[in-house]
Structure formats: structure tokens, C-alpha cells
Amino acid sequence: MPLPLPRHQRAHGRAELGFARTERGTVLRHLFHAAPLRVLFPTPEPDDLPLAALVNVGGGLAGGDSLEIEVSLAAGGGASLTTPAAEKVYRSLAEPTRLSTRLEVAEGATLEWLPQETILFDGARLERRMQARLAPGARLLAAEMLVFGRVARGERLGHGALFDSWRLWRGGRLHWADATDLSGDIAARLSAPFGFAGAEASALLLLAASVEEASAGRDLLRAAGHEATLARPGLLLARFLGPAGAVREALAGAIPVLRAGVLGLPARLPRLWTS
């Protein structure tokens, strides 16, 4: 009699980071992480922000897995968060994979949320929720990229589910909300000419800053060949859609433009994006 197949052991990872501003610059005041999430701190360039790398040591996420991330940045601080590689979401037979991120940025602080892309295997079921709470004078530069299938292997996302939600508060009031819901016949929706038009990937680049900074960022992106819009006063959005390689290249080109032209930081990507 054949032995039963082993059941997937669900992973429930969590990471908490708290940064504060001191005379020595921004320092880490609070850290907690639980497997499969680990937080590493690569040495940043001398002229750049402190860098934290969120690592999924499990190598990918399956149905029923969940990750929770909470980041707080105190007044006047500056920090950058990224990932060392693309996140993989495997096929699920039932339960979705759940990713939850909460960012809190205090007055005069600048936070970068720049993970590398998330790859949805065919049959993946992902629920991803982002909540960002910004004080009136805080700044946030954030990017998210989704790849619809293992493109390098010729696989396309044909079935499964995706719910991707953003909520951004400014000064305690809801400033912007957005959600993407892909379910049912995903293949048809991704190929629809007035939908995703056959795109292999999509990406969102967001800059929440002052009204003047957001407007300047839009002009800088347009001068660099990227379309961008001001969704609200002080909120700049740029969306990218197309072949996976082209979307990543466009996103990687737009981030340094905003870092240098608006945030006053070096015109470079996080080191892990190129290492």
C-alpha cells in the first residue's frame, strides 16, 4: 500500500523593524523576526540610507503560508528596505498565500520600500495587502512588481487568483486606495486587449511626498521617458505593463530618477538588485 503524500507544513513568518533618529543618524531600535522571515543588514554605501533586506529562507511560498511585515520609522529618520531576490508564490490547491505589510513613517522621515519582483506560478493564489500610514511631512518611495508566470520557462499564469490591495493614510486620513482583483478566467483577463493586453508583468511605482516634490517627480519621470500621474496632491504614481524584462528595466530606471531628483539620494538601486 503506497504511503500518503506528506502534507505541506504552513509557514507563518513575521518581521518587525523599528528605526529611530539619533546623533549618529538612523539606527535600529527594535527587531523581531520569525521563520521563514529573516532580516539582514547589508553594509550600505557611505552616502546612502541604512539598508534592511527581508529574506524568505523557505525559498518560496505555498498555499496557506503567510508573511507579516511591520516597519516603523521615527521622526527625521531615513531607511531603505528591499529583498535579495524575487519572491516565488507556488501553485495552491485550496488556500491562498497571504502577505501583509504595514509601514508607519513619522514627520520628516523618508522610507523606501523597494522589494524585487513577485513571481506568480500558474495556479498561485495570492492575497497581498499593503497599509502605509504617513505623518503630514513624511515621504515614502515604494515599488511593487508582479510577474504572471515563470516567464523564463515559457509558463503563463492561466488559473489561480490574485487580490492586491493598497491603502495609504496621510495625517490619519485615508489618502489613496487601490486594488487589483484577478480571479475566474485569469488567462482571458490577462490577454484582453483593454485589460492587461497579454502583458507578462506589471509594476507600480509610488512617491508620497510634498505637493511640490511629487510634481517635480512627475516632470523628471516624463523627461526620462516614463508616464506618471498625480493621483492626489503629493501622490505620484507610475504604472508599467509589458514583457517581464522590459517592466523590470523600466522600474529600475525610474527609481534612481526619483531618488536623486526628489529625495536627494544617490541615483542608484539597492545593491541587492544588481548583485
> Does pLDDT of 3 surpass 50?
no
Q: Tell me the per-residue pLDDT of 125-160, one tens digit each, with 9 for 90 and over.
A: 999 999 999 999 999 999 999 999 999 899 999 999
DSSP secondary structure of 36-99: TEEEE-PPPPTTS--EEEEEETTSSB-TT-EEEEEEEE-TT-EEEEE-SS-EEE-B-SSSPEEE
Q: Which residues of 209-240 are buried (b: 16+ CB within 10 A; e: fewer)?
A: beeebbbbbbebbeeeebebeebeebbbbbeb
Cell of 115: 522589494
CA neighbor of 205 nearest in space, from 114, 131, 129, 137: 114
Predicted TM-score (pTM) of this structure: 0.95
- Collapsing DSSP to helix, strand or coil, 270 comes out as coil
Alpha-carbon distance values, 123 to 91, 104, 159, 237, 243 (Å):
4, 33, 5, 29, 20
> Does pLDDT of 5 surpass 60?
no
Q: Tell me the per-residue pLDDT of 45-75, one tens digit each, with 9 for 90 and over.
A: 999 999 999 999 998 999 999 999 999 999 9
CA neighbor of 272 nearest in space, from 60, 45, 2: 45
Q: Across residues 86-115, what is the average pLDDT?
A: 97
Lowest mean pLDDT, pick from 14-18, 190-194, 238-242, 260-264: 190-194
Decide: 143 and 205 in contact? Cβ < 8 Å: yes
**Mean pLDDT, rounded, of the chain:** 95
Give dist(CA 212, CA 235) in Å, integer.
10
Alpha-carbon distance values, 137 to 25, 109, 206, 264 (Å):
18, 7, 16, 16
Cell of 12: 507563518
CA neighbor of 151 nearest in space, from 256, 225, 246: 246
Q: Across residues 85-113, what is the average pLDDT?
A: 97
Question: Starting at the edge strand that comes first in sequence, how are the strands of the sheet with 173-182 ordered?
Answer: 25-34, 12-22, 66-73, 97-105, 125-134, 161-170, 173-182
CA neighbor of 49 nearest in space, from 250, 234, 275, 269: 269
- Positions of E strands within 135-227: 139-148, 161-170, 173-182, 201-208
How many Cβ atoms from other residues are within 10 Å of residue 268's Cβ? 15
Q: Read off the pLDDT band of 1 (50, 70, 90).
A: low
Decide: 35 and 90 in contact? Cβ < 8 Å: no
Give dist(CA 225, CA 253) in Å, integer.
10
CA neighbor of 166 nearest in space, from 225, 220, 221, 235: 235
Q: Tell me the per-residue pLDDT of 216-253, one tens digit each, with 9 for 90 and over.
A: 999 999 999 999 999 999 999 999 999 999 999 999 99
Q: In sequence order, what are the beta bridge partners of 93? A: none
> Does pLDDT of 96 surpass 80?
yes
Share of the chain above pLDDT 70, in %: 97
Alpha-carbon distance values, 261 to 158, 216, 231 (Å):
40, 8, 19
**DSSP code of 195?**
T
